[in-house]
């Protein structure tokens, strides 16, 4: 039985404010680390240009999302900027049983929920080099109007403040390659 327990995978939570580069970092980590599963969250928000259902998110209606909550299908879920987001539980459990490292790209609210279920989860928070750069990145995404961008920026301050309290690892994404390498190293250190 101990062998099966040792084979069980690990949970890595990656969070950070909108526009900080979380998705890019996660995708690069998957390319560079063996035996990793990147969880795909469900959301009720509209698909942005270039996003693919099932790859970037699972785009669902509010009704579908609420039914999944009732059915206990999510490991965690939260409402963020008027949209619902959740991590499907089944795929995460399958990957962990297969001995994979599971990466959850989720917000601070969701991270706190997951930490209750998986207390050994490693929590990594991605920080922007400074607020000015975060504003530039958010604006460069072209996803939000001025009001929504302002709300996201205000939310970023709260997330960063909470991160200092809850997250073990803080990675500054001033240089993408360096940030990816830091996250890869944190994950590789877990496997030892």
Helix (H) or strand (E) holding 10: strand 10-15
Better-predicted residue by pLDDT, 156 or 3? 156
List b or e across 65-99, with b for residues whose CB sees 16 or more CB atoms inside 10 angstroms: beebeeeebbbbbbebeeebbbbbbeebeebbeee
pLDDT band at 147 (very low <50, low <70, confident <90, very high): low
Confidence of residue 161 (pLDDT cuts 50, 70, 90): confident
| Rounded Cα gap, residues 115 and 124, in angstroms | 12
Q: Are strands 36-38 and 122-127 parallel, antiparallel or unpaired?
A: unpaired
> What does CATH list as the number for 2-190?
3.40.50.300
Question: Average pLDDT over the chain, rounded to whole?
Answer: 87
Q: How is the chain split into domains, by residue range?
A: 2-190
| Local confidence band at 76 (pLDDT 50, 70, 90 cut-offs) | very high
Q: Confirm if 146 and 104 have CB atoms less than 8 A apart.
A: no
pTM, two decimal places: 0.85
């Amino acid at each position: 039985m101990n062998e099966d327990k040792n084979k069980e995978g690990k949970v890595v939570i990656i969070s950070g404010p909108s526009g900080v580069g979380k998705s890019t970092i996660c995708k690069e980590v998957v390319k560079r680390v063996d035996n990793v599963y990147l969880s795909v969250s469900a959301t009720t928000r509209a698909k942005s240009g270039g996003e693919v259902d099932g790859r970037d998110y699972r785009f669902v209606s509010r009704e579908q999302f609420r039914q999944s909550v009732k059915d206990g299908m999510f490991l965690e879920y939260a409402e963020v900027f008027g949209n619902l987001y959740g991590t499907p539980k089944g795929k995460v459990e399958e990957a962990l049983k297969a001995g994979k490292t599971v990466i959850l790209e989720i917000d601070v609210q969701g991270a706190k929920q997951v930490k209750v279920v998986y207390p050994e989860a490693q929590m990594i928070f991605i920080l922007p080099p400074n607020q000015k750069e975060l504003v530039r990145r958010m604006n460069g995404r072209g996803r939000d109007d001025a009001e929504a961008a302002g709300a996201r920026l205000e939310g970023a301050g709260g997330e960063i403040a909470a991160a200092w309290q809850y997250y073990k690892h803080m990675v500054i994404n001033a240089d993408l390659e360096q940030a990816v390498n830091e996250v890869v190293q944190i994950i590789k250190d877990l496997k030892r």
